[in-house]
Amino acid sequence: MPERDVTVGQLLLAEYQTVKDEQKTRIGFRDNLLYVTLTVVAAVIAAAAQARQTAMLLALPPVCVVLGWTYLVNDQKISAIGAYVRGDLGPRLAELAQAGGDAAFRWETAHRGDARRVSRKVVQCVVDLLAFCVVPLSALVVYWVGGHVPAGLVVVSVLEAVAVVGLGVCVVQYAVPFGAGGGAG
């Protein structure tokens, strides 16, 4: 057999590196979405206040829903990668190394046993709801009580509220129960 042949173990380690690189990239992207959301919210509120046009607040719900959904999808992929490494890739490598089922990539499970994990997940869920749902719903309330609201924009704003509430439901469903598919640890 030529020396250049690749072993199954080498392939699995290369796969591990690839999925961990993807996970790292997604974590950075996901975490930056919160900052982007805060920046957009501040810019829209400042512009609406300066122009004295509460209708400009109607830009917040669609932006927050798109950013929130993107955040949630990336968080799910981050978790899926971790679950794949813990449940599939790690055990296959441990088997090849003849080392017992949990001998590979112990960090993938060790950090999940943290006594504060549940409280962290609850706080993260609250932060996600505040950033992506409470803020745009508050903007809608300000718009609704801010004076004359044309019928067409009422319909638009109600549809936006439904979309924001739908995102909120997804955020909560994803976070609870914490161990059954919830966000990245």
pLDDT at 55: 94
> How confident is the model at residue 97, as a pLDDT?
80
DSSP conformational letter for 3: T
Cβ neighbours of 64 (radius 10 Å) = 27
Whether 185 is covered by a domain: the verdict is no
Could you tell me if residue 60 is inside a domain?
yes
Question: In this structure, is residue 26 part of a structural domain?
Answer: yes
Decide if 3 is inside a domain: no
pLDDT at 107: 75
Percent helix, strand and coil across the chain, each to the nearest 5: 80, 0, 20
Q: Which domain holds residue 121?
A: 8-175
Rounded to whole angstroms, how far apart are CA atoms 46 and 68? 21
pLDDT given for residue 114 in this prediction: 81
User: So what's the pLDDT on residue 100?
Assistant: 55
Cis amide linkage into residue 150, ω under 30° from 0: no
For residue 184, being part of any structural domain is answered with no
Residue 181 in any domain: the answer is: no
Which 8-state DSSP code applies to residue 86? I
Residues of the chain short of pLDDT 70, as ranges, are: 1-4, 99-103, 177-185
Cα distance between residue 145 and residue 175, in whole Å: 32
Q: Is residue 2 part of a domain?
A: no
Per the structure, the count of domains in the chain is 1
Considering the domain boundaries, does residue 139 fall inside one?
A: yes
